[in-house]
Structure 1
Amino acid sequence: MPETTPKKIFTTLLLIILFLLLLNIGSYFHLILEGGHPEDFFFRKTNFNMEKNLPSIFSSILHFSCAVLLLIIGLKLEEFKKRKPFWFLLSFLFLFTGLDELLRIHEKVGKAISSSIETSGIFLFSWVIPYGIAVIIISLFLIKPFFSLDKKTIRNFLISGFTFLLGAVGVEMFTGWYIEYHNLDLTRLLVIIDAFILSTIEELLEMLGLTYFIYSLLVLKSEHKKLTLRY
């Protein structure tokens, strides 16, 4: 793979994210200025906080791309074959998160929890509780093989992971607190500008984190190939 390929793919993905962001913002202001409804076609298909539309499908593709790249690295690159469980587990996790993004499994989990337990504040969106616990447990299994990687890869993975989790968990928990503190109407979150901005930031950080992770995996794959060819 040519050295510039990861950068080209990274740039292309960033341009797609920018395009989706502009559509998301444009559809919101069109909705507000024209007195439309959240069920309007343009808004439904471009809003970051709705399911089965352009942003959610693109985000799912990013997740699935990560899963495929991780699987390829674990299977094809000789240097990493001894750590197959690490790469396969990560691949499975991204396969699940891709399905979750597409089917909104976490929202269904949250509704199930909230129907039996009253949650509030940063846990208003209660899915963050089981998902947060799962992240901690899985991290315990991954931490040793993770820190056996080279420093550049560790740094890249940490940057992408922090960016993604800042959006997926950090902004989500802050949004829950903000909604409760300001007593926002849960039935009108799609049209309330505060909630719109927060949901946009959340999804944007997730997409950026995934995009940088894809770039990191492509760089790792590319550099390993060159090293193999050299020797």
Structure 2
Amino acid sequence: MSPSQSKKLDLIFKLLIGVDLVAMLIIFIHARVWPDFPFPHLGSRLNNPFMFLIVLLVLRGWINLEFRENILGLIKRVATEEPTRIYFFSLLISIQVGLEIMWYLYPSDLYWSLNAEKGYGTLFATAQLFILGIVVLFTARADYGQDADWKDKAPWFLVASVYIFIGVDDLLGIHENFMILGRTMALDSAVFHFVHEWLWFYVPVIMVVVIFLARFFLKRFIYSPKILGMMFVALILWIGVLVLEGLAKTVVEDTQRTDYVRLLIGIEEGFEMFGATLFMLGFSRHYKNLQEKSRTET
């Protein structure tokens, strides 16, 4: 691709990003600030335009090397450099606490709801998972070096892909399509429909992923009990999310105690968000260790 073509594409992506941000602002104004805002309604969900924004940013980063390096450099600084990383991770945890508080205060507000996948919690969780995927990728490059074989690179790319896919699934509700499909199957089976039906499609894959992640963590982080412990705590939290998801349909949603339902949903979503933060802490700490080792050797 010639430089002139790259510049034209970069300009197109910049314009599309601007249009998308304006669309998100209009949706927000209609939903939260001014319902009668004199502009056509563009919907009530921020999920799709937010996903489109992420895609546009990725495409622009692919076209524009300077833009890509600036974004990667920013994420690398806030996630790995002291004391910035302390502020960054404190901010992530503070946002999670704030989301939990607002969920308890306004459970009927869909935008503060941690149960409905159209609110601020979903947007935050998705953004965090995408950033986590990026942290994994630049940590991978520092870990395996420039001349590594594909077999050394592949596990890292798979780990990053897992986190990014979970973010996409949360944002677009991919698993809900499997739930709709599952409700048409095994209609006479109480066991099959005891849990959310999408779990029957996902659990076999999830089991493989959990085993893969456990092996990966043991192989890469055995040198640091602190990082290894952090990774396995995060993994256990995410397994806890699946257990709570399994209970959600019958045990949680069918109960008449709304305070109990709110508590369990808050715990489930809290496990997912804080688990992602712990994963990011672990990978960024590994990156810092690699950088310190490199400086010592030189």
TM-score tier after normalising by the smaller chain length: 0.7 to 0.9
The match for 1:24 is 103
Contact kept in structure 2, 1:156 and 1:216, CA below 8 Å:
yes
**Residue type at the aligned position of 1:172:** E
Runs of 4+ in 1 over 6 A off after TM superposition: none
Range 91-100 or range 152-161, more displaced: 152-161
Write the letter of the residue equivalent to 1:211.
T
- SS at the partner of 1:124? coil
2:125 match: 59
1:196 Cα offset (Å):
2.1
Of structures 1 and 2, the one scoring higher in RCO (CA 8 A, sep 6+) is: 1
Asked if residue 173 in structure 1 is aligned to residue 246 in structure 2, the reply is yes
Q: Secondary structure at the residue paired with 2:110?
A: helix
Closer, same or farther: CA 130–226 of 1 in aligned 2, 3 Å: same
For 1:55, give the aligned amino acid.
G
1:138-164 superposed Cα distances (whole Å, 9 cap, x missing partner): 345555443222323332211111112
Instruction: Tell me how far apart the structure 1 counterparts of residues 210 and 154 of structure 2 sit (CA, whole Å).
Output: 13
CA offsets, 1:39-77, max 9 Å, x none? xxxx11111011222100000011111111112122343
Give the secondary structure class of the aligned counterpart of 2:220.
coil
Deviation (angstroms), 1:166:
0.7
Between structure 1 and structure 2, the one with the greater Rg is 2
Distance 2:132 2:173 in 1: 19
Q: Which residue of 2 aligns with 1:33?
A: none
Match of 2:166 among 87, 97, 107: 97
Q: Does 1:68 align with 2:141?
A: no
Q: Which residue of 1 aligns with 2:20?
A: none
> Structure 2 vs 1, CA of residues 19 and 209 (structure 1 numbering), >3 Å: closer, same or farther?
same
**Root-mean-square deviation over aligned CA pairs:** 2.5
Query: Which amino acid in structure 2 is aligned with residue 65 of structure 1?
Result: I
Amino acid at match of 1:178: V
Select the residue among 194, 216, 221 that pairs with 2:260. 194
Farther-moved stretch of structure 1 (53-62 vs 142-151): 142-151
| Unmatched 5+ stretches in structure 2 | 1-79
1:126-185 deviations in Å (ceiling 9; x for gaps): 222222100222345555443222323332211111112212x011112334148xx448
Work out whether residues 217 and 231 of structure 2, in 8 Å CA contact, stay in contact via their aligned partners in 1. Answer: no
Deviates more, 1:122-131 or 1:169-178: 122-131
- Report the CA distance between 1:105 and its aligned residue: 1.2
Structural mapping, 1:40-189, within 5 Å: 43-78=109-144, 81=148, 83-118=152-187, 120=190, 123-142=194-213, 144-151=215-222, 152=224, 153-167=227-241, 169-179=242-252, 183-184=254-255
How many percent of aligned residue pairs carry the same amino acid?
A: 20
Q: Which one is further off, 55-64 or 195-204?
A: 195-204
| Matched pairs, number | 210
Letter in 2 for 1:164: W
Q: One-letter code of the match for 2:96?
A: I
Distance 1:76 1:150, change over 3 A: closer
Distance in 1 separating the partners of 2:215 and 2:252: 38
Provide TM-score, normalisation by structure 2.
0.63
1:46 aligned counterpart, secondary structure: coil
CA contact under 8 A between 1:23 and 1:46: conserved in structure 2?
A: yes
For residues 176-225 of structure 1, the C-alpha deviation after alignment (integer angstroms, 9 at most, x for no partner) is 34148xx448xxxxx93332222111101111111111111111111111
